[in-house]
Chain A
Amino acid sequence: QVQLQESGPGLVRPWETLSLTCTVSGGSISSYYWTWIRQPPGKGLEWIGNIYYSGTTNYNPSFKSRVIISLDTSKDQFSLKLSSVTAADTAVYYCARMSGYTYGYAGAYYQYNGLDVWGLGTTVTVSS
């Protein structure tokens, strides 16, 4: 079955750029939305943004000026870059798949069926 694995530095200096990669295995990166979510220590979940396999992105306005999500279909990977980080960006970062399918004429519509596959998460600490 499909599995996701986050990778990247566990420690980032303040005001630098956090960079994480999610590798998709056991299935194709095509035909789904791929998502980044984070969870600060002891707190709830926060959606950062997502990317469709076509490359279309959608970001949380809370991050919009700092975040870039990209896709590398040749490697079945998608990535997160979050710039100008502060201690408030310390969190467990998860990648996840939004399940669903296209329907309608020429696949014009998408039926979303929840975030059904998650990575284990990777802890990123922002500290000097």
Chain B
Amino acid sequence: EIVLTQSPGTLSLSPGERATLSCRATQSVSSNYLAWYQQKAGQAPRLLIYGASSRATGIPDRFSGSGSGTDFTLTISRLEPEDFAVYYCQQYGSSPWTFGQGTKVEIK
């Protein structure tokens, strides 16, 4: 099973700042099948990025994904008020599909 470790656990930033979230896998993610999701309290997760770097439909271009192999990054170029949430990475290249433990982006 591929274990995904996200860092940091919590990121305290102000609106307008840049957020950089990390996701590290214990083994290479097949076909770079790595996704990022945003989850707000009481809501279902929302797909932001798939295939490590492709933005999902309707996702603003301030969200970008990068990386390959075992190291992946989600970058939010300029935080908007609605971006403060919990972010999860997920690998779906190997069974069982697994999620990271999440990074909370909070208002500083």
Interface residues, chain A, CB within 8 Å of chain B? Answer: 44-47, 50, 58-62, 94, 96, 98-99, 112-116, 118-121
Question: Is B50 touching A114 in the complex (CB atoms < 8 A)?
Answer: yes
Please name the residue on chain A nearest to B50 by beta carbon: A114
12 other A-B residue contacts (CB within 8 Å) besides A118-B45, A121-B44: A44-B88, A44-B101, A45-B90, A47-B98, A61-B1, A94-B44, A112-B50, A114-B51, A114-B90, A115-B37, A115-B47, A120-B44
Question: B74-108: contact bitstring with A at CB < 8 Å (1 yes, 0 no)?
Answer: 00000000000000101011011111111000000
B99–A46 CB distance below 8 A:
yes
Q: Which residue of the partner chain A has the closest CB to B6?
A: A44
CB of A116 within 8 A of CB of B57, answer yes
A62 to B16, CA, bound (A): 41
Taking CB atoms, residues of chain B closer than 8 Å to A59 are 96
A45 touches B44 (CB 8 A): no
Q: Are A114 and B45 in contact (CB under 8 A)?
A: no
8 of the cross-chain contacts (CB-CB < 8 Å) are A44-B88, A60-B95, A94-B44, A94-B45, A114-B47, A114-B50, A114-B90, A119-B44
Given contacts A114-B35, A114-B56, A116-B57, contact A45 B99 (CB under 8 A): yes
Measured in the bound complex, the distance between the Cα atoms of B98 and A25 in whole Å is 27
A116 and B56 in contact (CB under 8 A), knowing A44-B102, A94-B44? Answer: yes
B47 contact from A46, A62, A116, A119, Cβ within 8 A: A116
B92–A98 touching, CB < 8 Å: yes
- Of B31, B96, B101, the contact of A61 (CB 8 Å cutoff): B96
Instruction: Indicate whether A113 sits within 8 Å of B102 (C-beta atoms), given known contacts A45-B45, A47-B96, A118-B45.
Output: no
B54 within 8 A of A: yes
**B47 close to A60 (CB less than 8 A):** no
A112 to B100, CA, bound (A): 19
Q: Give every chain A residue within 8 A of B43 (Cβ-Cβ).
A: 120
Check A115 against B98 for contact (C-beta < 8 Å).
no
Q: Which 3 A-B pairs have the closest CB atoms?
A: A114-B50, A118-B44, A114-B35
